Amino acid sequence: FLNVMEGVREAEKGKVIFISSGGAIYGEASEYPTTENYRPIPLSPYAVAKEVAEKYLHYYKHQFGIDYTVLRYANVYGPRQIPHGEAGVVAIFMDRLISGKPCTINHFDDEPRGMLRDYCFVGDVARANLAALSSGNLEACNIATSNPTHTLDLFNAVYRALKEARPETDRSLGNPDTGAARLGDIKQSCLVVDKAREVLGWEPQVDINEGIKKTLQWRLNK
């Protein structure tokens, strides 16, 4: 990140669009849904790195006049997302179901449906980045839908879409395994997007069910 900032400084032109993480940087927020004014409480090394990078942006603006816009993504999903490592759960669910493998819902003891997350379709996210090229200077904007979904409900939507596209899909796959929440997991995350509407002229257009169908179509045709 600092190499990028130094490159911009040496070029003496350009604006930085920084991709932060509203799904991580706010931590287990007491304000829910969460606005950009909420003080970050990062609970993982990834989230800490995002907050530190945002502070560096303030520094480079103050010292060198470099403009920037911060986009705090919710949980992004869509075509071309790989199902490996720390990839998004939509890609993981699709890959396992298509391969005939069972899925696992990780959850806290008091919520068997899993975590609440704000899933935003990649096409909507791409439009937010284009909007930030010419607006939102020196602002941080949440990029999300403000409509949270439990992991189990997300799984059911993916399974239904696959069953519709491939009726021969094994019905037993519709009953996922369960597992404990992992270190650094946040119970719930949902972001307010009013500022993005006002500052960027942006708002989400694709709901979760439509987005899952678009993603599945790509996955089956690739």
CATH number for 195: 3.40.50.720
Q: How many domains does the chain have?
A: 1
pLDDT for 26: 94
In a domain? residue 6: no
User: Which parts of the chain have pLDDT scores under 50?
Assistant: none
| pTM of the predicted protein model | 0.94
What per-residue confidence (pLDDT) applies to 87?
72
Rounded distance, CA 75 to CA 54, Å?
A: 19
In this predicted structure, what is the pLDDT of residue 119?
98
pLDDT at residue 13, rounded to an integer: 82
Note whether residue 5 is domain-resident.
no
Q: Provide the angle, in degrees to the nearest 10, between the axes of the packed helices 45-64 and 2-11.
A: 20
What's the CA gap between 94 and 161, in Å, rounded? 10
In this prediction, residue 23 carries a pLDDT of 82
| Interval 15-35: pLDDT, tens | 999 999 998 999 999 999 999
| 150-191 confidence digits (pLDDT tens) | 999 999 999 999 999 999 999 999 999 999 998 878 899 999
Q: Is residue 101 part of a domain?
A: yes
pLDDT at res. 201: 97
Q: What's the Cα-to-Cα distance from 45 to each of 3, 48, 52, 124, rounded to whole Å?
A: 20, 5, 10, 27
CA–centroid distance for 197 within its chain? 18
Q: What is the 3-state secondary structure (H, E, C) of 5-26?
A: HHHHHHHCCCEEEEEEEHHHHC
Taking only the tens place, the pLDDT of each residue in 153-163 is 999 999 999 99
Radius of gyration of the chain (CA): 19
Closest-CA residue to 115 (of 46, 60, 190, 59): 190
Classify residue 96: in a domain, yes or no: yes
Within-domain flag for 114:
yes
Q: Is 199 a member of any domain?
A: yes
Residue 89 lies in a domain: yes
CB atoms under 10 Å from CB of 110, counted, come to 6
Which residues does the annotation mark as catalytic? 46
Question: Residue 74: what pLDDT?
Answer: 96
Expressed as residue numbers, the domain containing 161 is 14-221
Q: What single letter denotes the amino acid at residue 209?
A: N
